């Protein structure tokens, strides 16, 4: 498996410094948070995109994915959501990134079946755009659809190889799902896995990997046992928790922890 980290842990950091962190600490790739407060987002010019892509390429660091905020199950018209997804797909294509992350974002007051159908319809509509650009849209296990069982209700009806799943290990754990259950649900659709650690279900402040309660070892063991050879991406949510320790100080130990889990499960 290859290791990456998300720029959510270093909000607003210029691309050259992100590249330097990845190379200094031995990460194979980076997940870029695609938000206007970041240096690279859907509003970034073609020249700036080309410059960023060249920096990553020259350093031998891959852009794993573009982490967008489109909410595919949210109520409302389809057109704005689809345009947001298409903007993310064009950005990923320009950065040579294989994946785009989207959220479910269903309204809990709305019937579940309606939200699932909305999400499946939108993802199905965007799938051909994704295929044309050589990018895959990944629905993250998050918010209204936090488990693998939730996500599969959407992904199953879509049935397109350019639409898949992003497994966020915190949300599936919070949803009461065991790693083996999540993998069984998502395996045919799995793009990559986001790892992290927290103190408890009540305190989700990000911690160094291995310092919290999330079943990271079990997740890696499940993946290894199935010979899954994808990406593990450390999503350290510094952007939302200002009191959390700075990610750059933790990156080296985090990579060593993940490498240890991989060795133990080999």
pLDDT of 193-236, one tens digit each? 999 999 999 999 999 999 999 999 999 999 999 999 999 999 99
What residue ranges define each of the domains in the chain, with the CATH number in brackets? 2-265 (3.20.20.150)
| Confidence at residue 3, expressed as pLDDT on a 0 to 100 scale | 98
Q: Is the pLDDT of residue 129 over 80?
A: yes
User: Which of 31, 92, 26, 9 lies closest to 60 in space, CA to CA?
Assistant: 26
Mean pLDDT score across all residues of the chain = 97
Give me the pLDDT at residue 248, please.
Answer: 97
Q: With b meaning 16 or more CB within 10 Å and e meaning fewer, what string describes 15-52? A: beebbbbbeebebbbbbbbbbeebbbbbebeeeebeeb
Region class of 249: left (phi > 0), else alpha (psi between -120 and 50), else beta: alpha
- Using the predicted structure, report yes or no on whether residue 265 has a pLDDT greater than 90: no
pLDDT at 266: 76
Cβ atoms 135, 191 nearer than 8 A: no
Say what the pLDDT of residue 30 is. Answer: 98
Predicted local distance difference test score (pLDDT) of residue 76: 97
**pLDDT of residue 90 exceeding 90:** yes
């Amino acid at each position: 498996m290859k290791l990456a980290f998300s720029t959510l842990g270093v909000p607003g950091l210029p691309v050259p410094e992100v590249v330097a962190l990845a190379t200094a600490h031995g990460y194979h790739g980076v997940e870029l948070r695609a938000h206007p407060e970041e240096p690279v987002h859907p509003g970034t010019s073609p020249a700036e995109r080309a410059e960023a892509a060249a920096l990553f390429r020259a350093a031998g660091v891959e852009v794993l994915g573009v982490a967008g905020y489109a909410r595919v199950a949210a109520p409302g018209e389809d057109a704005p959501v689809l345009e947001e997804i298409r903007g993310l797909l064009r950005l990923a294509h320009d950065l040579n990134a294989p994946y785009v992350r989207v959220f479910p974002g269903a309204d809990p007051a709305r019937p579940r079946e309606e939200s699932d159908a909305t999400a499946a319809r939108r993802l199905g509509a965007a799938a051909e755009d994704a295929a044309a650009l050589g990018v895959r849209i990944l629905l993250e296990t998050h918010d209204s659809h936090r488990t693998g069982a939730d996500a599969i209700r959407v992904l199953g009806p879509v049935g397109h190889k350019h639409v898949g799943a992003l497994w966020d290990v915190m949300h599936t754990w919070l949803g009461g799902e065991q790693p083996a259950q999540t993998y069984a649900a998502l395996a045919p659709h799995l793009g990559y896995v986001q790892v992290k650690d927290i103190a408890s279900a009540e305190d989700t402040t990000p911690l160094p990997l291995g310092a919290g309660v999330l079943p990271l070892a079990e997740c890696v063991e499940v993946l290894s046992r199935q010979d899954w050879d994808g990406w593990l991406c450390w999503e350290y949510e510094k952007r939302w928790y200002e009191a959390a320790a700075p990610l750059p100080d933790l990156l080296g130990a985090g990579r060593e922890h993940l490498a240890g889990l991989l060795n133990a499960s080999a």
